[in-house]
Amino acid sequence: MSILMTVRIAFKALGRNKLRTALTMLGMIIGVAAVITMVALGHGAQTQIEDQIRGAGTNMILVMPGAMTAGGVRQGAGTFSRITPTDAKALRDVPLVESVSEMVQSQQQVVSTLTNWRTSIVGVSVDYPTIKTWPVTSGEFFSDFDVANANRVCILGSNVAQTLFGDDDPVGQELRIKNYTFKVLGVLATKGASASGTNQDDQILAPFTTVMKKLQGTEFLSYMMASARTADDIPRTATAITDAMRNAHNLDEDTDNDFMVMTQDDMIAARTQTTQTMSSLLAGIAGVSLLVGGIGIMNIMLVSVTERTREIGLRLAIGASGSDVLMQFLIEAVVISVFGGSIGVALGYGTSEFFRLYQHWPTLVPPDAAFTAMAFSAGVGIFFGFYPARKAAGLDPIDALRFE
């Protein structure tokens, strides 16, 4: 019997029990739709995190304070800061380093002529907007002269500018931080939330020397920010920075680093590990739906074999081979799986778009997701349909014709 004839017989058999066929497909529809939706949510969250981190700066590398060891007990990262402006000068001498910015952070109450607001005061150098790819929309950034002389000047984040000055132009106006009067030189472009969820527009930038001397009273930096010349140079630049910092701190070969060098890839890996784990868990749960759908196909096919025993016996008696019967029932199982999988793929895409448009959740369906889901559906049909098909093909024609 030709394969085309076998396919036609399989479709006619499925058409005789439309409701049962549709209910059997339902398991595959739900399973595939769940897999597509869960994968879309997982990939969307991961891509959003990567974009946020990569959008935070140009080829950015962070140099953080290290851990303090006291009495053989490590106190944890950031508990011991030996990062100073001298270290920043050492980094500027590294050929692979494009830009360096000293970083000092402080929380202060800021007072304008209209209102007051508690926000972050971040001490930076003139290279900071280049590293972060963060332009000034009005006014201008402070200069090296302001940094060298610890001048009381500042740049406002867009949220701070709106909160403190409303619709007025803040450029050229003054505000008070602690007991010092600062002159506003410019306003930064709107940046939005960082990968950690903090509002980057709710901060004020000032020369790091000003923050260290007048607001913090410290000689240490919170951390440093550097950028490599190109993205391909990031690993080599991170290694060169590590070597430069060890030399600056006079560390011998047996001494651990008292600082940490973090690249964007490190930060992405740290932040996406949880997302990937959750995505795998959700995909696994959705995969159980496919398994249940496959078991449903096998059960229905076994019922179909029992109901059509006399038909099978008749076909075998008039010359059909066991392989023809096997192929017929196997095609029926695959058709149920593939058709159900196709509807599930469409439903999964639709659900993903619903979450993206109406729930504002980041979703991204990988290009190969539909193909993988369809291939998996066909595989489920073959796997769970083989036993009923083999049982049908193995029936004895005489016993099958006697079956009541």
pLDDT digits (tens, 9 = 90+) for 168-222: 999 999 999 999 999 999 999 998 776 566 788 999 999 999 999 999 989 999 9
Q: pLDDT tens digit string along 218-277?
A: 999 999 999 988 877 888 999 999 999 999 999 888 888 889 998 866 555 655 566 666
64: in domain: no
Q: Does 238 share its domain with 372?
A: no
Output DSSP code: residue 71. T
First and final CA of the chain: distance in angstroms? 27
Segment 38-45 shows an average pLDDT of: 78
Adjacent-strand bridge partners of 186: 139, 155
Alpha-carbon span 109 to 177, nearest angstrom: 6
Verify that 362 and 277 share a domain, yes or no: yes
Give the DSSP H or E segment for 70: strand 60-70
377 and 295 within one domain: yes
Task: Give the domain-ending residue among 233, 257, 281.
Answer: 257
Does residue 313 form part of some domain? Answer: yes
Within this chain, do residues 42 and 186 fall inside the same structural domain, yes or no?
Answer: no
What is the extent of the structural domain holding 170?
A: 83-257
Are both 107 and 231 inside the same structural domain? yes
Q: Which residue has the tokens 């394969």?
A: 3
**Do 250 and 355 reside in the same domain of the chain?**
no
* Cα 11 to Cα 161, 214, 328, 331, distances in angstroms: 69, 83, 9, 9
**392 part of a folded domain:** yes
Q: Give DSSP secondary structure letters for 182-241.
A: EEEEEEEPP--B-TTS-BTTSEEEEEHHHIIIIII--SS-SEEEEEESSGGGHHHHHHHH
User: Are residue 236 and residue 98 in the same domain, yes or no?
Assistant: yes
The answer to whether residue 78 is domain-embedded is no
Verify that 126 and 229 share a domain, yes or no: yes
Q: How would residue 47 be classed by pLDDT, with cut points 50, 70 and 90? A: confident
**Mean pLDDT across the chain, nearest whole number?**
82
Residue 71 lies in a domain: no
The answer to whether residues 202 and 98 belong to one domain is yes
- 138 and 214 part of one domain: yes
The answer to the question of residue 381 being in a domain is yes
Render the burial of 351-365: b for 16+ CB within 10 Å, e for the rest: bbeebbeeeeebbbb
Residue 68 lies in a domain: no
Question: What percent of the chain stands above pLDDT 90?
Answer: 36
- Domain end position, chosen among 257, 291, 307: 257
In this predicted structure, what is the pLDDT of residue 190?
92
Instruction: Work out the number of other CB atoms within 10 angstroms of the CB of residue 396.
Output: 10
Q: What is the mean pLDDT of residues 13-38?
A: 80
Residue 201 in tokens: 């527009």
Quick one: pLDDT at residue 197?
A: 64
pLDDT at 317 over 50: yes
Question: Are residue 234 and residue 382 in the same domain, yes or no?
Answer: no
pLDDT above 50 for 69: no
CB 161 within 8 Å of CB 115: no
Dihedral, CA atoms, 143, 145, 150, 156, nearest 10 degrees?
-10
Is the pTM higher than 0.75? The answer reads no
More confident: 289 or 220: 220
With CA atoms as reference, report the closest residue to 120 among 174, 199, 62, 190.
199
DSSP string, 339-402: HHHHHHHHHHHHHHHHHHHHS-------TTHHHHHHHHHHHHHHHHHHHHHHHHHT--HHHHHH
Question: Is 60 exceeded by the pLDDT of residue 55?
Answer: no
What SS3 state is found at 123? strand
Among 204, 232, 257, the domain boundary falls at 257
Assess whether 378 and 302 both reside in one domain. yes
Domain count, the chain: 2
Residue 74 belongs to some domain of the structure? no
